[in-house]
Amino acid sequence: MNQLFQQVRILNPIKIDDRQKWELIERRADILVIDGVIQEVSATTPLPTDLTITPGEHLILAPGLVDLYSHSGTPGHEERETLESLLLAAQAGGFVCVNILPDTLPALDRVSSIVSLDREYQQIAAQISNCPKLAYWGALTQRVEGKAMTELAELATTNITGWADGNAIDNLALTRRLLEYLQPFNRPIGLYALDRQLRGNGIARAGVAALKYGLPVDPVSSETAALASIIEIVADIGTPVHLMRISTRRGVELIAAAKQRGVPITASTTWLHLIANTTDLITYDPNFKLDPPLGTSDDQIALIEGIKMGVLDAIAIDHSPYTYEEKTVAFGEAPCGSIGLELALPLLWQHLVVSGKLSAIELWAALSTKPAQCLHQSSPTQSILFDTQIAWKVTKNSLKSLSHNTAWLGREVIGKVRL
């Protein structure tokens, strides 16, 4: 079907220098889509006769989104998410590339596992029109348990994005050896800063809300002590690292100081940490149990400012599907994580852009072009058409994901990817 979208708002985040300065190329234009190919039209452009015309007042045409890290149910937990449902959920949410973590079953810690998963992806992708790219983080440690290195050089022969466990590595000496060994490969390395001993049995970030709701507290230092150690190792060795899941104000401050003195790091937070905080735990909804836990309202403000100022480079989705049975338990017993590929863009747009906390370019760059830059990839060449005004209800039928573990289930959301 040929479609003409009239006076669409076009966004294009462009990096203009090496100091992380970005500008927004923004204008309105009539956009013609013929067989999935976009072209701008003028008054003299010949138009097809079989044309559907749609007003574009509330439509945004912009580069497709790139997710830094998420979890796949395949292989090992297909009851949570199949590769097909993951790809369809990503497509519905506007993502043109999803990078999955290696904590599958078996883990992506050997060449055969990656080759096998990639073969399955290629078969499914051939059946999905405009299928998102699925990329893979190779495991840093065996079975992502943080105890012994994988065969890193062998994994480097595959098409992995880079290396990341997605879990914290407790042994700092092992972290140092990993960074020394991987330095010549010049591929992204993702590390999650967490001191498990300091966390103990904590499940809610320390603060008034956690105490009020009677939840075991996770101190800020469980993130920042580990983060400070990683930063010092990176500064000493010089191997660039991407710091995952930053969740506290002090974490943002440590990253800002490290960048100021030239430590080669990039960093990300997750979308839910930008739109929710510990006060949302009043419902004891297990879908708000995350790793790391939601920050305080002050942490949330600092994370948003971190994105705005470029201290935090990107927003990750960390899509974590779980079955109804796994999540429908007491808050303290539930596994950590929530789905997000289909919900992140509309909810971030409403909470951050509509509210004026971030500009359109700041949000879009953090979800699209800057994640690609963190992964040493070129900016997305595919575009998406996002309608900022469509209202839709989050239900099991409206979601493409096989799992429905989200606090927004049954609630109305404004904003949806059209194409």
| DSSP-derived 3-state class of residue 176 | helix
**Which residue, among 307, 227, 304, 319, has the nearest Cα to 265 in the 3D structure?**
227
CA 56, CA 386: separation in Å to the nearest integer? 10
Residue (of 174, 165, 69, 70) closest to 109 by Cα position: 165
295 CA to centre of own chain: 17
The Cα–Cα gap between 74 and 71 comes to 9
- Can you list the alpha helix ranges (DSSP code H) found in 185-296? 196-199, 208-212, 221-237, 249-260, 271-275
Helix or strand or coil: residue 120?
Answer: helix
DSSP of 310-321: TSS-EEE-----
Q: Which entry of 109, 285, 291, 318 is annotated as an active-site residue?
A: 318
Structural contact between residues 360 and 353, judged by C-beta atoms closer than 8 angstroms: yes
Q: Rounded distance, CA 73 to CA 83, Å?
A: 7
Instruction: Name residues whose C-beta falls within 8 Å of residue 173's C-beta, 6 or more positions apart in sequence.
Output: none
Q: CA-CA distance, 91 to 73, in Å (whole number)?
A: 17
Contact between 223 and 193 (Cβ < 8 Å): yes
Say if residues 164 and 268 touch (Cβ distance below 8 Å).
no
Q: Is 155 helix (H, G, I), strand (E, B) or coil?
A: helix
Q: Assess contact for 94 and 340: CB atoms under 8 A.
A: no
DSSP β-ladder status, 22-34 and 37-40: antiparallel
Residue type, 144: V
> CA torsion angle for 107, 109, 113, 114 (degrees, to 10)?
110
Clarify whether 170 is annotated catalytic. no
Active site (catalytic) residues: 318
